[in-house]
Amino acid sequence: MEANEIEISEAVPASRKLQATDARELLKSVSKLIVAKGKKVNEFSVKDRVSRDAVVAMLGPTGNLRAPAIRSGKTMLVGFNDEVFGSTFH
């Protein structure tokens, strides 16, 4: 994050497992969710309601929130894709 001059306001250690309830709670403060799994990228509008598909997309095979999970303003990015990361945070 430092290389891109991004200030981290809150870091959650990996030992704290965030699950579906936590993911749904995180989405209450955003209007757009971007989920990246390798080259596959999905976008969800969550300003009116949080869909089950959006929450499921945020979770990995163990049922825990995938990393990294980054909230910037009204956008949340879960997972990593270099192209999406660069266009969202620059």
Q: What is the pLDDT of residues 33-73, one digit of tens each?
A: 999 998 899 999 998 888 999 999 999 999 999 989 989 88
Alpha helices in the chain (DSSP H): 20-27, 52-58, 82-88
pLDDT value of position 23: 94
Q: How far apart are CA 57 and CA 6, in angstroms?
A: 25
Q: What is the pLDDT of residues 64-88, one digit of tens each?
A: 999 899 898 899 999 988 888 777 7
* 3-state DSSP assignment of residue 29: coil
pLDDT value of position 90: 60
Q: How far apart are CA 26 and CA 50, in angstroms?
A: 10
Phi, psi at 6, each rounded to 5°: -105, 125
Spell out the domain ranges in the chain: 15-88
pTM: 0.84
* 3-state DSSP assignment of residue 51: coil
Q: Is the model more confident about 6 or about 45?
A: 45
Residue 21 has pLDDT above 70, yes or no: yes
pLDDT value of position 87: 78
Paired tokens of 33: 């969710």
